[in-house]
A and B are shown apart, each in its own frame.
Chain A
Amino acid sequence: MQVTAMDIYRLLPQTNCEDCEEAACGEASCMAFATKLSEKEAQLEICTELSSEAFDKLETLLAPAVKEITIGTGDKTITIGGDEVLYRYELTYYNPTSLIIDISDNISDAEFAERVKVIEETEFERIGEMLTLDAIALRNASGNAEKFAEAALKLKKSKLPLVLCSFDPDAMKAALEKVGDERPLIYAVNESNLEEMAALAMEYNCPVAIFSPNDLEKMKQLSRALRNKGIEDIVLDPGTFVQEGIGDTLDNFVMIRRLAVEERDEDFRFPLMGIPALTWIYEKDEVQGGIREATIAATLMNKYADLLIFHGTNIWELIPVLTLRQGIYTDPRKPQAVDPGLYEFGELDKNSPVLMTTNFALTFYTVEGDIKGKANAYLLVLDTEGRAVDVSLAGGQLNAEAVADLIKETGIEDKVDTRTLIIPGLSAPVSGEIEDESGWEVLVGPRDSSGVPGFLEELKEKS
């Protein structure tokens, strides 16, 4: 169950820091601080009035339902887990799913280097954010400890953190001797290697994954065994069954997360990982495989996967995955909006065209991407409380009066001699009303802003 502000308040000093000029937490009262803590917007450490006993209690109380775990060190780190809720609308999901690409230890040096390069350089820009991949999973496909260690050493130069995949403790030991100081994720403990792998995890202070395909009872036992040894950074892999068994996999993910969040079952309060890469054992066709691997990834990312290992590196496969991740991990409490007002693009003069759009972040960044460097124009951004053109038109935020006010408030009439406003194609139904209200001539622009530069070109030719 989610911790409430009241639960937290009870353990705070409740002094409201009356004797001091300014509270260390910067809040007006302990209750306000408690609210911030419950929403994960403040750190407990900034309160100076806590006894160490109260601090410990609060720390336990505030520990997320799913443990937050760091893989890697220094600049090469990813953090996974940290979630508190089952549904994102209840709070938000923390720490976007880490997207990891596998690499085999039995390919040639040139192939190896090329694949690392592709993984490191994959990127896709969306809504003003650069989306990239997070880590590399080195697979002991050779079954040879020495080869595994050599390949691990090669990855020391990579800028991404590392997952070491082998069920053989000797191979794992050999690789950890090379890169153990970089805190890779050890994948994985199973029934037969538990003692040795646990010893390695402790020796190198690395997080460790448990692999227990389709057996949550055993998963619980293995988790408890590791916890009894004092190992705290655990990742759970209940097996990814990419064909008929995907329903089981989904059930396992949901059950584990439910046990963590609702039952606070200590054995399951850890991040979850899935391996869509398994698709390629059964599917050799590159296109079919890519589509199916992405589909498995989408299934698991929707239901709680904190880390996913892929095999495919085609950009057309990864773009949808990166986009879905971006959507799921937005904060539902914050409107996705940019500041309304006047934005300028390129070299402008008194005859430059004036465009209009809404302040929904996605709409704005899409329009910005389409005109930046491709057209010279003023862009009026209307405050629609972060709603898209069609939605704000239906909801009434995009209306003639608001547009007329925007024209006045931005002072655009002093910047241009023209009195022509180009509105988005989807807002055509209110074009007449905007003309009446603002006194400007209104032109209906393209429905998709990718057509704006062409539209402006044509306009120029006509005049």
Chain B
Amino acid sequence: MDKMSQLLKLLEKTDYIEINEFRMDFEELELQLMPAMQRVVQQAATKQAAVQETIKMMEAADFVPPIKDYPGEVAQVQLGAGTRKPVYLGGQQALYRFEEPQPNPPVVTFDVFDIPMPGLPRPIREHFSDVMEHPGDWAKKAVKDFGANMVTIHLIGTGPKVMDKTPRQAAEDIEEVLQAVDVPLVIGASGDPQKDPIILEAAAAAAEDERCLLASANLDLDYKRVAKAAVDYNHAVLSWAITDINMQKTLNKYLMKEGLTQKDIVMDPTTCALGYGIEFSIDVITRTRLAALKGDQDLQMPMSSGTTNAWGSREAWMKNDAWGPTDYRGPIWEIFTGLTMMLCGVDIFMMLHPLSVQILSEIGSTFTKDYLTSDVPDISNWIAELE
């Protein structure tokens, strides 16, 4: 190795060179040493920059969004076909939107009844008193005036102890509502385990190929008959279990044995209202959604909430001066119940009050945007800006 090569070799791992008592033929050096020095200087500069960069990178890379991989995904269910504008539920592949965009905004379906409901709380009755005689008008008002994505027609009048309406009459009510609006329908019966399957069958036939959601199949009634009606007439089924994840799994399995698929089932794990056991629903719904994303195929369906249950709470409807007007308490009770369920993974909400529907829909739609894509105001001076 000649002197120059040795020097270059030495310089290879050098960040800088200090020259002391140096004597050399200038011209020679200029020709031979300069490239080496240049290289060294360049190396040193690059290294410096890299250190700076590392410091910067360390600071920046330090914060890593905690994103998870989920092996499972929630099936997407289509409601509405034929003459209906379809809506889509489910389809999630992650728990939160910062992990993966959320595919479908939450859907609100407005409660409408086949009989005038004198028992409804006043803050709701006053919005609908003009249309309660006709479910078609009621449905139209819910969609046109209050922006409902869907309508739930409860065939309460078919109850043997209510008006004992016949399956034929139930079918007529369904036809009336189908004529009145072009949104998808949820079809609910009266809750009589003997009669419900018969009523749902008649209603399903009347709405053939419109892809309604039949509410509901549960373990207390002839769920096979409800499932068959859905398969025969192209509808989806609401699979309802009472805050019990194992019961839900069992029922879903049974329904799939009857020919329904994940894409034909929406689960209702029961909504306990705010203050009336809402924590039980929080736990069950959270666990159900997590199970779906972890890969449990019997629970990979979107979920529904009977948010209207909130109105059963006395704080929502009971007149009490010390609690303030029910005009405000009631809607908040319904919003809180729905919102809490939404944050646990519920996709579709059955609701009653126009203001609740509006606010829940507004906030729900923000949860399907991507992280940090909304214009947000400058709040750095909020302490003084607040009145």
Residue positions of A touching B, CB distance < 8 A: 87-89, 102, 104, 124, 126, 139-141, 143, 165-167, 190, 211, 213-214, 216-217, 220-221, 239-241, 243-248, 250-251, 254-255, 258-259, 262-263, 275, 277-278, 280-281, 287, 290-292, 294-295, 298-299, 302-303, 311, 314-317, 319-320, 323-324, 326-328, 330, 332, 362, 366, 388, 391, 394-395, 448, 450
Query: Is B318 in contact with A216, judged by CB distance below 8 angstroms?
Result: no
Give complex CA distance A287, B329 in Å. 10
* Contact assessment for B374 and A248 in the assembled complex, using a CB-CB cutoff below 8 Å: yes
How many angstroms between the C-alpha atoms of A63 and B343 in the bound complex?
A: 28
Task: Give the shortest distance, in Å, between B328 (CB) and chain A (any CB).
Answer: 5
| Contact in complex: B279, A327 (CB < 8 Å) | yes
Given A246-B366, A287-B328, the answer on whether A323 and B386 have CB atoms closer than 8 Å is no
Tell me, in angstroms, the Cα distance from A198 to B60 when the chains sit together. 23
Nearest 6 interchain pairs by C-beta: A316-B324, A245-B376, A89-B283, A247-B366, A323-B275, A244-B374
Closest to B284 in A: A89
20 contacts between A and B (CB under 8 A): A87-B287, A89-B286, A102-B386, A140-B384, A141-B383, A167-B381, A190-B380, A217-B62, A245-B376, A247-B97, A247-B367, A251-B96, A291-B331, A298-B336, A302-B340, A302-B343, A320-B332, A324-B274, A327-B278, A328-B279
CB within 8 Å for A294 and B336 given contacts A167-B383, A247-B374, A254-B98: yes
Task: Judge if B31 is at the interface, Cβ distance under 8 Å.
Answer: no
Q: A217-B63, A291-B332 are in contact. Are A280 and B322 (CB under 8 A)?
A: no
Identify which of residues 93-143 in chain B touch chain A, using a CB-to-CB cut-off of 8 Å.
96-98
Q: A405 CB to closest chain B CB, in angstroms?
A: 25
By a CB distance below 8 angstroms, the chain A residues around B274 are 320, 323-324, 327
Per-position 1/0 for B268-283, Cβ under 8 A of A: 0000001111110011
A141 vs B384: C-alpha distance when bound (angstroms): 4
Q: Say whether A298 contacts B335, CB under 8 Å.
A: yes
Complex partner residue of B379 from A140, A220, A258, A278, CB under 8 angstroms: A278
Residues from chain A with Cβ under 8 Å of B323 in the complex:
124, 315-316, 319
Taking the complex as formed, is B82 at the interface, i.e. its CB lies under 8 A from any CB of chain A? no
A303–B282 Cα gap in the complex (Å)?
Answer: 11
Residues on the B chain within 8 Å of A278, using CB:
379, 382, 386
Instruction: Assess the B277–A366 pair: CB atoms within 8 A.
Output: no
Report the minimal beta-carbon distance from A212 to chain B, rounded to whole angstroms: 10
**Quick one: which of B279, B318, B374 contacts A332, CB cutoff 8 A?**
B279
Residues of A within 8 A of B329 (CB): 316, 319-320
Contact of A319 (CB < 8 Å), options: B287, B315, B375: B315
Asked if residues B340 and A316 are in contact (CB atoms below 8 Å), the reply is no
Find chain B residues with CB under 8 A from A290 CB: 328
Q: Is B51 an interface residue (CB 8 A)?
A: no
The smallest C-beta distance from B103 to any residue of chain A, in angstroms, reads 15
B387 / chain A contacts, CB cutoff of 8 Å? 104, 280-281
> Contact: A362 with B369, CB < 8 Å?
no
Nearest Cβ distance between residue A429 and chain B, in whole angstroms? 11
How near does chain B come to A369, taking the closest CB pair, in angstroms? 10
Q: Could you mark each residue 351-374 of chain B with 1 if its beta carbon is under 8 Å from any beta carbon of chain A, else 0? A: 000010001000100110101101
- The answer for the CA separation of A291 and B275 in the assembled complex, in Å, is 17
User: A241, B283: Cβ atoms under 8 Å?
Assistant: no
Provide the residues of chain A in CB contact with B97, threshold 8 Å: 247, 251
User: Given the complex, which residues of B lie within 8 Å of A262, measured CB to CB?
Assistant: 66
Q: Most chain-B CB neighbours within 10 Å: which of A317, A327, A450?
A: A327
Q: A245-B374, A316-B324 are in contact. Are A298 and B340 (CB under 8 A)?
A: yes
Give the interface SS of chain A, mostly helix, strand, loop or mixed.
Answer: helix
Question: B343 to A303, Cβ gap below 8 A?
Answer: yes
Q: How many residues of B contact A (CB 8 A)?
A: 61
A314 and B386 alpha carbons, distance in the complex (Å): 17
Q: How many Å from the CB of A274 to the closest CB on chain B? A: 12
Tell whether A315 pairs with B322 under 8 Å between CB atoms, given A214-B372, A216-B63, A320-B315: yes
Q: Identify which of residues 287-318 in chain B touch chain A, using a CB-to-CB cut-off of 8 Å.
A: 287, 290, 314-315, 318
| Known contacts A143-B384, A248-B372, A394-B242, then 18 further A-B pairs from the complex at CB < 8 Å, ordered by chain A residue | A104-B387, A124-B323, A214-B372, A221-B62, A239-B376, A239-B379, A244-B375, A247-B369, A248-B374, A262-B66, A278-B379, A280-B386, A316-B324, A316-B332, A317-B332, A324-B274, A362-B275, A450-B318
Question: In the complex, what distance in Å separates the CA atom of A143 from the CA atom of B384?
Answer: 7
What residues of chain B lie closer than 8 Å to A166, measured between beta carbons?
Answer: 383
Beta-carbon contact of A323 and B279 below 8 Å: no
How long is the Cα–Cα vector from A413 to B335 in the complex, in angstroms? 47
CB distance from B330 to the nearest CB of A (A): 10
Q: Does B363 lie within 8 Å of A246, measured CB to CB?
A: yes
Q: How far is the CB of B309 from chain A (nearest CB, A)?
A: 11
Task: Provide the residues of chain B in CB contact with A89, threshold 8 Å.
Answer: 282-283, 286-287
Q: Contacting A314 at CB < 8 Å: which of B324, B344, B363, B369?
A: B324
Taking a contact as CB atoms under 8 Å apart, the answer to whether B379 and A295 are in contact is no
In the complex the two chains form, what is the Cα distance from A239 to B340 in whole Å? 21
**B385 CB–A CB distance under 8 Å:** yes
Minimum C-beta distance from A41 to chain B (A) = 20
Q: Is the CB of A255 within 8 A of B367?
A: no
Contacts of A217 in B (CB 8 A): 59-60, 62-63
B366 / chain A contacts, CB cutoff of 8 Å: 244-247
Given A140-B384, A316-B329, A220 and B363 contact (CB-CB distance below 8 Å): no
Q: Is the CB of A324 within 8 A of B336?
A: yes
Cα distance, A228 to B315, chains bound together (Å): 49
The winner among B66, B274, B339, B343 for most chain A CB atoms within 10 A is B66
Pick the contact of B242 from A87, A140, A245, A391 — CB < 8 Å? A391
Contact present for A141 and B98 (CB under 8 Å): no
- Check B355–A326 contact: CB distance below 8 A: no
Please measure, in the bound complex, the distance between the C-alpha atom of A328 and the C-alpha atom of B340, giving whole angstroms.
10
Cβ-defined contact, B382 with A275, below 8 A: yes
Q: Inside 8 A of A287's CB, which chain B residues have their CB?
A: 328
Instruction: List B contacts of A214 (CB < 8 A).
Output: 372, 376
Q: Which residues of A contact B318 (CB under 8 A)?
A: 450
- A347 and B153 CA atoms in complex are apart in Å by 49
Assess whether B332 is in contact with A281, with CB atoms less than 8 Å apart: no
* Cross-chain contact of A291 among B66, B220, B335, B385 (Cβ < 8 A): B335
Specify which chain A residues have a CB less than 8 angstroms from the CB of B335 in the assembled complex.
291, 294-295, 298
Cβ of B106 to closest chain A Cβ, rounded Å? 12
Q: How far is the CB of B353 from chain A (nearest CB, A)?
A: 11
Chain B proximity of A106: nearest CB distance (Å): 9
Contact A255–B324 (Cβ < 8 Å): no
The interface residues of chain A lying within 8 Å CB-to-CB of B287 are: 87, 89
State whether the Cβ of B160 lies closer than 8 Å to any Cβ in chain A: no
The answer to the question of B35 belonging to the interface, with a C-beta cut-off of 8 Å to chain A, is no
User: CB distance A251 to B371 under 8 Å?
Assistant: yes
* Among A88, A241, A299, contact of B377 (Cβ-Cβ < 8 Å): A241
Interface check B325, CB cutoff 8 A: yes
Once bound together, how far apart are the Cα atoms of A235 and B367, in whole Å? 25
